[in-house]
Structure 1
Amino acid sequence: MLRGAALALVLAAVPMAAGAAPAAPSAPAAPSQQFRVDPVYYNLPNGLRVVLLKDSRVPTVTVAVHYGIGFRVEPRDRTGFAHLFEHLLFQGSENAPKGHFINLVSNAGGAMNGSTRFDYTNYYQVVPSGALEAMIWGEADRMARPVINAEVLKNQQDVVANEVKVNVINQPYGGWPWLVMPQAANTNWHNAHNFYGALDDLEAATVDDAKAFHERFYGPNNSVLFIGGDFDEAQTRRWIEQYFGAIPASAPVQMPDISEPRQTEPRRVIHNDPLAPKPAWAAGWHMPPRHSQEWYAMGLINQMLIQGTDSRLYDKLVRQESITSGIGGGINLLGSQYTYNGPMEMVVDLTHDADKTEAQITAAVDAVVGDLQNNLVSDQELQRAKTKIRSSLYGTIDSASRFGLAEILSAYALFDDNPAKFNDVEAGFAAVTPELIRATAREYLRDGNRTIVILQPGAAQAASEAQQ
């Protein structure tokens, strides 16, 4: 079904300055900027979802394929398999042997990469417009005819195992808190296992495992093809049909139950990091359902509590009490609020000196959260949060690479079967009131919905003992 034919970023007015008062107290502030993304959206007979977004301002195209398979649904006893498989599909296909597709991109002066997230795996390229057909051909061959054999599997098992060692096992604060928090905050295995992969599980993967995984999750009917930029729509549709149309659909994907029960008691988990020089503290709160009023409110709470040096927790923990030199966190640490489709946490994390106690940090955070739960935020502060989130949205969708836009629209195609639904987000945030912020904070920032993870360092203690 056609949903439009062009990208229109409509800048209706200059954004309202931070601190400007809205027209009426406690009324939803009307957006001072409005954007609209109008993709062409349709399905091939084999189920492939296609998102086309024409934008001729720059003579380049962005091509991305998103598969509906992420960390959450990898097989039990094969932790890290989704990430391992992402690596496998960079190793070549029948008609594009190892290195061929990469050379096509680099010789055209383009860039490419891929990633594994909670709910999808993606591959993407940005190239001059003249290389579009080659990109469509290469992605179709990757989907239909990847080379999966013992040599390729062993090679990538070694690569990924080394990546785990470098980025997690042998790295101070490795996996902190993006890998640690989901395991602490969730109870469903699909949300709570080691997404990067245990080394034993990675080494145990077989060629049969990989082939079955490809057959199950990498069919066109579990995929979205995004093409954005300077292209001829009619010709592009012919190429898509030519290269993707003959790929047979896989069996319908049977997704596991990834739901989380409502958390009713606070959780506290100790995480030991022998390489960390300083202790760290993190808290995670389960998010409301996607697209709900509270989901939008939590997005704004994230801005007010965590994001930027004007945030409440930065002011309390850094400026007022000198507990830490900075804070991190947000919603979906492996993407954004718009690019996940299951249980998720809003997280805040910090490192601190050993003389700052857990009780001191928790009490400071509780004071800030309690104020949000007990008192209405000012219209001025709420408007500032809306301006910040709107600015972040524009930065994402207007980048020259279009990677952020490709990721968001493909996620909405995968999860909602409607990439144009992304147009709803600005109105959703605009409708949030101070009363909704308070109600959402009371339900979703309550102690019973919170998990605290304490990172205990080892490096500082070991150094101290060595000096004695």
Structure 2
Amino acid sequence: MKKSIMALGSLLVLGAAAHAQKVEFEEYNLDNGLHVILQQDKSAPVTVTSVMYHVGSKDEQTDRTGFAHFFEHLLFEGTDNIKRGEWFKIVTANGGNNNANTTDDRTYYYEVFPSNNVELGLWMEAERMWHPVINQIGVDTQNEVVKEEKRMRYDNSPYGQLMQEIKKGLFKTHPYRWTTIGSMDHLDAATLAEFQAFNKKFYVPNNAVLTVAGDFDKAQVKKWVEQYYGHIPKGAAVTRTKIEEAPITQTIHATFEDPNIQLPMIVAAYRTPAMSTRDARVLDLISSVLSGGKSSRMYKKIVDEDKKAMQIGAGSYSEEDYGTYFVYGIPMPGHTPQEILADADAEVVKIQTELISEREFQKLKNEVENQYVNSNASVEGVASNLSTFYLLYGDTNLINTEVEIYRTITREEIRDVAKKYLNPNQRLILDYVPAKDKAQN
């Protein structure tokens, strides 16, 4: 529900919702400030061990962007007790899998093991936290890995720089204005001492949450948690000051030329409130009505009926300090991006001035119930949700209660919140066009 609302048929949804189970969990703090969440589920013989650190790209310096994402890679290099190149071998040799990901707000590592290897997962994440080896060999190796990732996913991918340009347009002072992958020039310029200082500041127990979910003996896991994590020294308190953006009061216009595309795209992007607010959740529902898949208003009108757009879609990206909602469209031959924008705006005006129908409203409710069930359908999803709700929302039990917030949203709120945030003078209009030598004639 924090990103986009998924849709399935009402009967399937209501049947699944009837079997939704409350997620039972226990949480406590170690003396060093590490927050621990234990969620026991013996329905399958697997266990997830995860650590989420409260560090993302928004915690970087303006001349050292990309550090948090770089550390997502760097902290797999090895530890005092895990030799370089051995991390993934250990995981696969013991029947597990693992991964990590970084956002503007946090970095998340996890291992999934058969339940008889839960101790191994706990030990490995403790090693990552307490004994990482951060040396020049690892920095140089991962520098090349990250550069290749940037080339593949951003620089050489069609429309790959879209989010970069949206963020740059919507945020002028907040660190959300740069991408998570950051600047390669900044990474090249950084010294080994700077990487080591970043690790010492952020990858500490009092800036993290350890979540264990799945099939395990709770008393035994508590002993292992104390054994492997209890002695790790507490770091200096991480202090943050939220950087406030001035409200957008007139349309921002921007153009970007992408050498990897042949068809132009028009984008309308709006800065929205923090993920923890009620308005952010209302905007989730609005985005579903307007542009959530092929049954949405914009797709049916602009793509199916009028056949003006080859593609139309949207993204709703909620974050700790602010969110972003954007609509994008690629025109059919013979039509212009401005036509698509005008038609999209007309759909926004409708939702700002008319209550959505009872039928649409019921469909939204069904989608909310379905997303609630699906988000907690796997042990991996439960672990991630518990960590996120604790770290970024400040309320772990939202894993059970957030759906109640969505259930109380009214049709009137949908209309009023659309009026509040989705106005022409509050947005970025981005013409995302082919480089001049790539444009179709």
Shift of 1:207: 0.7
Other structure's SS at 2:438 match:
helix
Partner of 1:302: 287
Shift of 1:297: 1.3
Moved more, 419-428 or 109-118: 419-428
Is contact 2:174-2:245 (8 Å) kept? no
Partner of 1:266: 251
Q: 1:184 to 1:355 in 2, by over 3 A?
A: farther
Shift of 1:83: 0.8
Is contact 2:69-2:102 (8 Å) kept? yes
Partner of 2:74: 88
Q: How does 1:159-174 map to 2 (within 5 A)?
A: 159-174=145-160
Partner of 2:5: none
1:320-370 Cα deviation digits (max 9, x unpaired): 2213233333322xxxx5xx3111111222333453222201110111000
Identity %: 33
Q: Distance in 2 between the 1:285 and 1:462 partners?
A: 27
Shift of 1:268: 1.9
Other structure's SS at 2:150 match:
helix
Q: Distance in 1 between the 2:224 and 2:436 partners?
A: 56
User: Paired residue for 1:64, among 40, 43, 50?
Assistant: 50
Paired residues in the alignment total 432
Partner of 1:383: 362
Q: How does 1:409-448 map to 2 (within 5 A)?
A: 409-448=386-425
Q: 1:446 to 1:76 in 2, by over 3 A?
A: same
Stretches of structure 2 that go unaligned for 5 or more consecutive residues are 1-7
Q: Distance in 2 between the 1:19 and 1:122 partners?
A: 30
Moved more, 32-41 or 315-324: 32-41
Q: Distance in 1 between the 2:9 and 2:434 partners?
A: 44
Moved more, 308-317 or 208-217: 308-317
Q: Distance in 2 between the 1:62 and 1:105 partners?
A: 12
Partner of 1:281: 266
User: Paired residue for 1:369, among 348, 351, 358?
Assistant: 348
Partner of 2:99: 113
Shift of 1:32: 6.8
Other structure's SS at 1:327 match:
strand
Is contact 1:18-1:384 (8 Å) kept? no
What is the RMSD of the two structures over their aligned residues, measured on CA atoms? 2.2
Is contact 1:278-1:460 (8 Å) kept? no
1:375-407 Cα deviation digits (max 9, x unpaired): 1111211121121132123222103xx333222
Q: Distance in 1 between the 2:311 and 2:43 partners?
A: 39
Shift of 1:460: 6.6
1:21-52 Cα deviation digits (max 9, x unpaired): xxxxxxxxxx9776522211111111111111
Is contact 2:273-2:280 (8 Å) kept? yes
1:235-286 Cα deviation digits (max 9, x unpaired): 0011011001100111000224233222221212111101112111222222
Q: How does 1:84-233 map to 2 (within 5 A)?
A: 84-176=70-162, 178-233=163-218
User: Paired residue for 1:75, among 35, 56, 61?
Assistant: 61
1:119-146 Cα deviation digits (max 9, x unpaired): 0001111110011101100100101111
1:183-213 Cα deviation digits (max 9, x unpaired): 2111224111243222211211211111110
Partner of 1:235: 220
Q: 1:101 to 1:381 in 2, by over 3 A?
A: same
Is contact 2:173-2:243 (8 Å) kept? yes
Q: Distance in 2 between the 1:397 and 1:175 partners?
A: 32
Q: Distance in 2 between the 1:350 and 1:385 partners?
A: 23
Shift of 1:296: 2.3
Q: 1:18 to 1:260 in 2, by over 3 A?
A: farther
Partner of 2:325: 346
Stretches of structure 1 that go unaligned for 5 or more consecutive residues are 1-13, 21-30
Q: How does 1:26-41 map to 2 (within 5 A)?
A: 35-41=21-27
Shift of 1:415: 2.4
User: Paired residue for 1:311, among 251, 276, 296?
Assistant: 296
Q: Distance in 2 between the 1:260 and 1:182 partners?
A: 12
Shift of 1:461: 3.3
Is contact 2:274-2:323 (8 Å) kept? no
Other structure's SS at 1:38 match:
coil
Q: 1:370 to 1:343 in 2, by over 3 A?
A: same
TM-score in terms of structure 2 length: 0.92
Is contact 2:254-2:429 (8 Å) kept? yes
TM-score in terms of structure 1 length: 0.87
- For residue 277 of structure 1, what is the amino acid of its counterpart? Q
Q: Distance in 1 between the 2:251 and 2:285 partners?
A: 23
Q: Distance in 2 between the 1:425 and 1:460 partners?
A: 49
Q: 1:71 to 1:323 in 2, by over 3 A?
A: farther
Q: 1:75 to 1:291 in 2, by over 3 A?
A: closer
Partner of 2:4: none
Q: Does 1:393 align with 2:372?
A: yes
Q: Distance in 2 between the 1:19 and 1:117 partners?
A: 30
Q: 1:458 to 1:355 in 2, by over 3 A?
A: farther
- For residue 140 of structure 2, what is the amino acid of its counterpart? K
Q: Distance in 2 between the 1:408 and 1:258 partners?
A: 26
Is contact 1:61-1:227 (8 Å) kept? yes
Shift of 1:18: 9.8
Shift of 1:422: 2.7
Other structure's SS at 2:172 match:
coil
